[in-house]
A and B are shown apart, each in its own frame.
Chain A
Amino acid sequence: MISPELKQVILSALKLNDCELNDATAAYEVPGWDSLSHVNVVLAVEQHYGVRFKSVEVIRMKNVGDLQRLVDSKLAGQH
């Protein structure tokens, strides 16, 4: 389940008003989310949540659900 907060961070990074995002949504299905803007989305998510992803973690993410789980695990690790 994608949190409204993560969805908003992604939409803002891509300058989108709205877009359907669910666990299975892959970057290539989202308007404007291409290989060049991917790094901006990742940086925006890292900045918003105050977390850091490793290169391998970024490379292995297949969809928005993976991103949500990665954020959740990083936040859990901070507590």
Chain B
Amino acid sequence: MIAIVDYQAGNLASVQKAFYHLGFESVITADPEMIVRASKIVIPGVGHFDATAALSGSLQQAIVSAIHRQIPLLGICLGMQWMFESSQEAPSLRGLGLFGGVCEKFPTKVKSPHVGWNQLQACASSRLLRQVPENCFVYFTHSYRVPVVDATVAGCEYGGNFSAAVERENCFGVQFHPEKSGNPGLQLLRNFCEL
């Protein structure tokens, strides 16, 4: 069972709807027991980094325990940002620190939020992006971004290059919304389900 972590940050149902469409069962839950037992974990979410405060404590423990057991973890948008060290959006909070780097605001020379379809620029081999067309367009909507790091497997250009997808062992993060990115996004989610 795929556990979609409910921490009251935006629309979780659309992620579940995509899994259902692909024929995979998932459950939206805030129960650490369910997360510990899950075969895969998704941390979705949109909105302010403040919302990730709800992940600290027992939810975070359950997620960390799953990572140690090599359970695949996918962070989407704010969920991906939380996998980094911290965010300028809420400097007092800590992220999970799975990936090095701090989420930062877009430069003022471009409009923010970055909303719309932008191109992936693959820069390393990726299990998550298998059969996702190179340079395909995916849907972004975010005001903060994470820098390009060692684990970056695809970048994106908007007021400079940033990480669109990161991957290390069984930990994955995407800044865009695969559940809202048409066929390329559904392919990515299928890849995650089939890990």
Real complex partners, A and B?
no
